[in-house]
Structure 1
Amino acid sequence: MKKKILAIVLCASFYGFSSADLQSDKNEQLFVNDYENILGTSLEIKIAAADDGQAAKGEITALDEIERLNKVLSGYDLNSEFRRWMNAPKAPLKISRELFDVLSLFEEWRIKSGGALDASAETINSVWRNAAKHNRIPSAIEISTALSLVQERHYILNAENQTAFRTSNAPLMLNSFTKSYIMNKATNAALAISGVYGIVLNIGGDIVIRGKHTEEVDVCNPKADAENDPPMSRLQLQNKTIATSGNYRRGELIGGKWYSHIVDPRTGKPAGSVISATVITNNSVDAGALATALNVLSPEEGKKLVSTVPDVEFMLITADGKRIQSDGWKKYEIVDVNQKANLVTIAKSDKLWDPGYELAINLELATLEGIRVHRPFVAVWVVDANKKPVKQIALWYNKPRWLDEMSAWYATYYDTFASENNSVSSTTSATRSAGKYTLKWDGKDDKGNFVKQGVYTIYIEVAREHGSHQLMTQEIDVKTMQHINIQGNPEVAAASLDYRKKSDGNKQR
């Protein structure tokens, strides 16, 4: 498979598009590519450019800048400048402009947020992670000890000499700002390339949109647990950054209760009253900072903080299911008729699929060595006992000209695909792990009708650039199945199926 363009959408319907499908104007096309394991998560980049050569230059420039800045700011790379500074003797040390900027931003926002953001929050996270290994909550003494470290002064900055003097032993992480800071620099670098008119950079659900391009963005439902669940909201944005932070993808399970990875540096406890915060701003750093802070603060505290930052709109989802949004949120929101519930009359018969149940399809794409690993083409669909197609669940691809490399899907669904509009939006969500996806089949066919109970076969087809072609099939009987593991292969490390009762957040509406 030659290197081409790949598109994906998360928490909405899965379709891709070619560069010819979307155009900013008659001279500009949108070129899309996706990667896994960039800054520890997935990356989607869209370049609006005059031709594929200019788009490629813009993409490479953005990726080079991300790689360069990650070597400066990463808290996970032992050889990054940040980690070397952390481990150096305590003395004023000359540091790069980028590291100085991010340390300055953390100090600025620590004060502005009243301590809700703090570079030493990792101290508290470590306590909770260690306790979770033993399935217990940290003791009051452990939390108190961590808080005493958090309350110390961690570094002294000297702007004139561009030095940073580390003054405490508390472990520090720059996560609240690293991603948004890097994204801002990367998009600016790409836009400086002649012939690049616009860019959309989506890293782990945080999205920067710059230049001559308007992007549709879906806001992921925090109570959803599959990539193809309907979004909470659909927005239309230009020259904006949108960031989402929440407790629903990362955290610790202790005694059967979920505790967020986002902790309150003021109390030493995981955040809990807000489960998702989405922020729209002009400035990517403000978006990243506010999305995290609004999870820590109460809704009222959050509104007060937002009022100190110009041109910000937000939407919060609280633990009790309330949706709180700023007055200006609706000016970006668009109505999508495709997201309306498909009301189907269900006959009273035990031979039809039970609408209270769903099939979860779990995929873990193989992790390949290398910094810039493309996501493969993937198709997932269902056929009945007579091998007739029932439901297309997912399609991730680049240009349609290469879809025939997924030969089984091509023979089944290509004619339908070619007759439809297959453009996609971006999705903002809490940061996700690279390569791990869950899809759902709600028991409906391609026309929106519930199928009969009986025997079906799940098809999972994968074709990777410079890789192999794999076709996985698994027969299921809805009347008897519960959990099935599917043997992995070189492209799909693991897969499984779960027929389960729908959660409260995903029941048929």
Structure 2
Amino acid sequence: MKNLFTFFILLISAVGISQQTYNRTQKLMGSRFDLTVVAKDSAQANAFIDIAVGEIKRIEQLISSWDPNSQTSKINANAGITPVIVDSELFDLIKRAQGISKLTDGAFDISYASMDRIWKFDGSLSKMPTEEEVLNSVAKVGAGHILLNASETSVFLELKGMKIGFGAIGKGYAADKAKELLIQHGVTAGIINASGDMNTWGKQPNGEDWKVAITNPMDKNKVFALLPITNGAVVTSGDYEKFVEFDGKRYSHIIDPRTGYPSIGIISVTVFAPKAELADALATSVFVMGKETGIDRINQLPNVECIIIDDKGNITTSKHIEIEKL
């Protein structure tokens, strides 16, 4: 789950500016989307935003595991039975997801949807699940069981009852595709904010970069850093609202798909990347991998940066990021 630790500060002067920013908030993919475009007037802006909304709805129909008629649902329904031929767009998305799973040593895995939901973060969990329950919960999880046939663009889940889901990258992917389409239609600048999965391009009407403020999860009323962002994406993943504690140890709602146990030690991860899809996946992965392994992995990736806040309030950053502290 992505928490809204990040938000954009728009510093716009109306003097001498022919274009302005226009914003619309709309519920899409079951979440809040804030769509901002730079346009000459409201009519043009609304036409642009309608294009973005249409694209996001198209993506939802393709990847939704709740819609029984979606290609993703058909893949899940045929797990352990037969391969399903899908559109090349969905095939490529699954292939990239497998690549990220390999990159993160399985910390990211779209077959997490197969997990039994034994961990409750609504206050009802009174004791730790047993080791057997935890092991059983991930028995059908594993990206290696997703078999892809490129010549047929087919997808086959080897295990009966296995499922895939795009909750960890779906909104990021939708933000990327909406941005891409708007650029094709001549939108020079804007922001797609998919419930905290943010993608930007261009500059504000006054020529300044968009700026992202990072909120301290130890105190949601305080911002500890302000960073410019140009033609890129930023995603924050956090557990400050959803966690459980046993014997003085805090367990995040973000579950390690390899072990079935919640991640520990980190309360916030912010990732900057060229695309929201990648930033989305890596934010979750760093949570699972832990601070040291996560930062090391991020430092090996080009054009990707990361800010981690641990459960003691310590801030760790990747080697090329510069924080403008407030």
Q: Same fold (TM over 0.5)?
A: yes
Corresponding residue for residue 318 of structure 2: 326
Give the aligned partner of residue 215 of structure 1.
210
Structure 1, unpaired ranges of 5+:
1-9, 337-509
Asked whether 1:283 is paired with 2:291, we answer no
Shift of 1:252: 5.3
For 2:35 and 2:302, how far apart are their aligned partners in 1? 27
Q: Name the CA shift for 1:13/1:251 in 2 (closer, same or farther; >3 Å).
A: closer
2:105 maps to a residue whose letter is G
In structure 2, which of residues 112, 115, 125 is the aligned counterpart of residue 121 of structure 1? 112
1:202 is aligned to 193
Check 1:23–1:269 CA distance in 2 against 1; reply closer, same or farther (3 A cut).
farther
2: distance between equivalents of 1:140 and 1:112?
Answer: 27
Which residue of 2 is the match for residue 80 of structure 1?
A: 70
Provide the C-alpha distance between the structure 2 equivalents of 1:276 and 1:207, rounded to a whole number of angstroms: 16
Gaps spanning 5+ residues in structure 2: where? none
Bigger share in strand: 1
Q: Give the drift of 1:256.
A: 9.4
**Change in CA separation of 1:130 and 1:310 when aligned onto 2, cut-off 3 Å:** closer
**Of the two, which has the highest radius of gyration?**
1
Q: In structure 2, the residue corresponding to 1:70 is in which secondary structure?
A: helix
RMSD: 2.9
Separation of aligned partners in 1, 2:121 and 2:239 = 18
Partners of 1:13 and 1:289 lie apart in 2 by 19
Q: TM-score under structure 2 normalisation?
A: 0.86
For residues 152 and 15 of structure 2, the distance between their equivalents in structure 1, rounded to whole angstroms, comes to 45
Which string of whole-angstrom CA distances, capped at 9 and with x for unpartnered residues, describes residues 269-317 of structure 1?
A: 1011111110111122221111111111121211221133211111100
Q: Give the 3 Å change call, closer, same or farther, for CA 32–38 of structure 1 in structure 2.
A: same
Could you say what secondary structure the match of 2:139 adopts?
helix
* Stretch moving more, 129-138 or 64-73: 129-138
Checking the alignment, whether the CA contact within 8 Å between 1:102 and 1:178 is kept in structure 2 is no
Paired residues in the alignment total: 317
Which string of whole-angstrom CA distances, capped at 9 and with x for unpartnered residues, describes residues 161-205 of structure 1? 2111121123332222211111100111122224x2111011111
Share of identical aligned residues, percent?
A: 26
Q: Which residue of 2 aligns with 1:57?
A: 47
- Retained in 2: the 8 A contact 1:11–1:230? no
Cα displacement (A) at 1:250: 3.5
Letter in 2 for 1:38: L
- The answer (yes or no) to whether the contact 1:123–1:172 under 8 Å persists in 2 is yes
Residue 25 to residue 191, structure 1, CA distance change in 2 (3 Å): farther
The question of whether the paired residues in 2 share the 8 Å contact of 1:153 and 1:167 is answered with no
- Quote the offset at 1:63 in angstroms: 0.7
Structure-2 residue corresponding to 1:184: 176
Q: How does 1:355-374 map to 2 (within 5 A)?
A: none
| TM-score (normalizing by structure 1) | 0.57
Structure 1 counterpart of 2:141: 150
State how far apart, in whole Å, the 2-side matches of 1:222 and 1:231 are: 9
Structure 2 CA distance for partners of 1:25 and 1:102, relative to 1, 3 Å: farther
Q: Whole-Å Cα distance in 2 between the matches of residues 191 and 13 of structure 1? A: 22
Distance 2:104 2:318 in 1: 18
Is the Cα–Cα contact under 8 Å of residues 63 and 70 in structure 2 kept in the other structure? yes
Report what 1:46 is aligned to.
36
> Deviation of residue 25 (structure 1)?
7.4
- 1:224 corresponds to which of 216, 219, 222: 219
